[in-house]
Structure 1
Amino acid sequence: MVDVDPKVKLAQLAEDAGVSLSTVSKVLNGRPDVSARTRAKVEAILDAQGYQRRAGLPGRGTLIELVFPELETAWAMEIIRGVENVARAHGLSIVLTESGDRHSPSASWIDGVLRRRPVGVVLVFSDLADEAKAKLRSRAIPFVIIDPAGDPASDVPSVGSANWAGGLAATRHLIELGHTRIAAITGRDDMMCSFARVDGYRSAMNSAGIEVDERFVRFGNFQVDGGRNIALELLDAPDRPTAIFAGSDLQALGVIEAARTLGLRVPDDLSIVGYDDLQLAKWSSPALTTVHQPLTAMAEEAARLVIRMSDSPLGSIPRMDLATRLVVRESSAPPAGA
């Protein structure tokens, strides 16, 4: 690709759009004093021409934008803390945006971020629409996905965690305690992490020579109510499981509540292992054995990546998965009579 002087290229773009060079500059810099019609026209020509603003140009913002599908989640604070740690160390601030669903932000979000022109964007989604990627890249706004939920496209920088290994470690722990009737309650069936954690569970069971009872494998929603409702079904049966691996700490809390409702003691009658290792896990009653997902570290890595990418383009698309580890507390024990 020939490196064209941006001023020359922008002058041609302005002529093609029938506007002044200053108007094109205002659109590129997200200035509000441009009519919606003119902005749309200039944006269309910029996209059609494949205009790429150079990274590292002066006049960049002082913000890192952090985008969530919803902020009312217990692990959102872990991610905010991680991004804030890195932003503060670099003299930057963060702006929080709530948009879209668990797969990608809404289409309207992209216009706002182009106006704000942050140093970079950290997104807690499975992926990003092609149109949004193109617009961010054309303004040299780097983005990284923190991916506790899915499997981003190959052209998307991302930071995730070892979901399969986490499911394996949780289930192996229960097997080593002597459990064979082990259930797994995971997240939604359209999220890759849900399958990865269950695959880890299945691998542990198979390697131990324990047949998986398919009635014990359930997809939920990673929330307290989902864990509670599914556990009530599993535990209110004569051949109930003696242990449950829950795909999130919130689900695990729902399982504990279901056990209490049915008069079962944790861990005497039922062992429970969660996933995430949120702050609340150590304060639950009993304290929750769980898989530590390094959410804060994932957020820190994502923030470092966007800052590096804002200074200069990287040679390849960075993808990293951070290690998970088992944290043994009080909610797991050998089965009764063992």
Structure 2
Amino acid sequence: MPGKPRVTIARIAEEAGVSAPTVSKVINGRSEVSPETRRRVERLLREHGYIRRATGTDGPAGLIDLIFAELESPWAMELIRGAEKAAAEAEASIVISVLHTHEGPGRDWLDRLAARRTDGVIIVGSRLSAQRYDRLNSRSIPFVVVDPEGEPAPGVASVGATNWQGGLTATRHLLELGHRRIGMIGGPPDVLCSRARIDGYRAALETAGVEVDPALILHGDFLVGSGHDHGHTLLSLPDRPTAIFAGSDLQAFGVFEVARQRGLRVPDDLSVVGFDDLPLSRSAWPPLTTVRQPLEEMAFLATRMALGISRGESPEPRRVELSTDLVVRESSAPPAAQYSGVSS
């Protein structure tokens, strides 16, 4: 803050009753500090709002860590592309890590992160608990969350997309084509973006005076397999839907496959809409109508925000939602006047 003296390692050391090298070891994630001393120093670092020395603005920014919970989807490449572009502008390098868990970085990983003095961390698709948030702050590691799975804690910088509006727009498109039996395949029920897309779907139906049928709403994991499995369930209903809104493009591709297996033509017998607008959606057959989520732009902005925080800047606003847009292609059309249930 302007006019506020910057807290020093020496002051933290004096208040904690330890040496300055010990404080430095805590800041840098070194292991040779007792747990009690580490807790005492971390508490003082938080209380004083200690900010580690920022990278000089005249030289390269250093390292940006891009952290994924999983790396199983092509959408990760779009995020990597955006982060790399922002890092290149700042003459920084990208380090990609996969945690194989949605619970956020663990203590050991955070220690290693602090030891290599990263200039910023982009956390993609993880649940960041208050405890992990405190651990990142106590090590003075600037971070931004992209597409958070849960509600970000107050003060946490995050970048997402207008998922509710995207769900509303996709469903409204199908309603305007004349569909009334519209299936919905979402992601995990406890993931923020999935809930928002389903809520947008519900809102569009309710606004149009169409009853929401719980049997038409299923939860998956955003991957092809869940699109296939839940598409099979929906298309096996006695009164099957004439359209399916999938919570991701990958799930939509799974619906394509099960429709083909059942002898249904897209969009003649079944309209399908996805979410993401991955490059694959343009080359699918038929090309996929989808909601464009600006993944590259999200990662670009998050990286810029993290670099700004590392320089002592405070991003405003701290929570950003970029707009989604409906991209109409050939997988959606008015429903046929009649259809016959085709079984596998």
| TM superposition score normalised by structure 1 | 0.90
8 A Cα contact 1:61 1:118, kept in partner:
no
What percent of counterpart residues are identical?
48
Whole-Å Cα distance in 1 between the matches of residues 247 and 6 of structure 2? 51
8 A Cα contact 1:64 1:121, kept in partner:
yes
Which residue in the other structure is 1:298 paired with? 298
Deviation of 1:233 (Å):
1.4
Whole-Å Cα distance in 2 between the matches of residues 202 and 280 of structure 1? 27
8 A Cα contact 1:161 1:324, kept in partner:
yes
Deviation of 1:43 (Å):
2.5
Q: 1:4 to 1:74 in 2, by over 3 A?
A: closer
The amino acid that maps onto 2:264 is: L
Which residue in the other structure is 2:263 paired with? 263
The amino acid that maps onto 1:12 is: E
The amino acid that maps onto 2:40 is: I
Q: 1:87 to 1:209 in 2, by over 3 A?
A: same
Unaligned stretches of 5+ in structure 1?
A: none
Whole-Å Cα distance in 2 between the matches of residues 5 and 48 of structure 1? 14
1:47 equivalent in alignment to 2:42: yes
Whole-Å Cα distance in 2 between the matches of residues 238 and 125 of structure 1? 37
Deviation of 1:7 (Å):
4.6
8 A Cα contact 1:292 1:326, kept in partner:
yes
Q: Deviations over 1:233-278 (max 9, x none)?
A: 1112331110000000011011111101111011110000000111
Deviation of 1:135 (Å):
3.2
The amino acid that maps onto 1:122 is: I
Q: 1:315 to 1:247 in 2, by over 3 A?
A: closer
Which residue in the other structure is 1:6 paired with? 8
Alignment of 1:138-157 (within 5 A): 138-147=138-147, 149-157=149-157
Q: 1:50 to 1:268 in 2, by over 3 A?
A: same
Whole-Å Cα distance in 2 between the matches of residues 58 and 277 of structure 1? 36
Q: Deviations over 1:21-66 (max 9, x none)?
A: 3344344335xxx6x3436455223113235433554579600111
The amino acid that maps onto 1:332 is: S
Partner of 2:290, secondary structure, is: strand
Which residue in the other structure is 1:307 paired with? 307
Deviation of 1:208 (Å):
1.3
- Which moved further from structure 2: 74-83 or 92-101? 92-101
Which residue in the other structure is 2:274 paired with? 274
Partner of 1:149, secondary structure, is: coil
Which residue in the other structure is 2:215 paired with? 215
Which residue in the other structure is 1:38 paired with? 33
Q: 1:211 to 1:58 in 2, by over 3 A?
A: closer
Whole-Å Cα distance in 2 between the matches of residues 183 and 221 of structure 1? 16
Which residue in the other structure is 1:25 paired with? 24
Deviation of 1:331 (Å):
0.6
Q: 1:42 to 1:13 in 2, by over 3 A?
A: farther
| TM superposition score normalised by structure 2 | 0.88
Q: Deviations over 1:127-164 (max 9, x none)?
A: 42333322332343211000163321222110011011
8 A Cα contact 2:177 2:333, kept in partner:
yes
8 A Cα contact 1:155 1:317, kept in partner:
no
Whole-Å Cα distance in 2 between the matches of residues 233 and 214 of structure 1? 13
Deviation of 1:104 (Å):
2.3
Alignment of 1:1-338 (within 5 A): 3=5, 5-12=7-14, 16-17=17-18, 20-30=19-29, 36-38=31-33, 40=35, 42-50=37-45, 52-58=49-55, 62-147=62-147, 149-314=149-314, 318-337=318-337
8 A Cα contact 2:54 2:312, kept in partner:
no
Q: 1:276 to 1:316 in 2, by over 3 A?
A: closer
Q: 1:4 to 1:310 in 2, by over 3 A?
A: closer
Q: 1:263 to 1:162 in 2, by over 3 A?
A: same
Q: 1:291 to 1:207 in 2, by over 3 A?
A: same
8 A Cα contact 1:184 1:198, kept in partner:
yes
Q: 1:186 to 1:4 in 2, by over 3 A?
A: closer
Whole-Å Cα distance in 1 between the matches of residues 315 and 198 of structure 2? 35
Whole-Å Cα distance in 2 between the matches of residues 315 and 288 of structure 1? 36
Deviation of 1:178 (Å):
1.1
Report how many aligned residue pairs link the two structures: 331
Whole-Å Cα distance in 2 between the matches of residues 82 and 187 of structure 1? 24
8 A Cα contact 2:7 2:50, kept in partner:
no
Q: 1:317 to 1:114 in 2, by over 3 A?
A: farther
Deviation of 1:79 (Å):
0.6
Deviation of 1:311 (Å):
1.1
Whole-Å Cα distance in 1 between the matches of residues 268 and 292 of structure 2? 23
Q: 1:289 to 1:6 in 2, by over 3 A?
A: same
8 A Cα contact 1:55 1:140, kept in partner:
yes
8 A Cα contact 1:282 1:288, kept in partner:
yes
Deviation of 1:315 (Å):
7.1
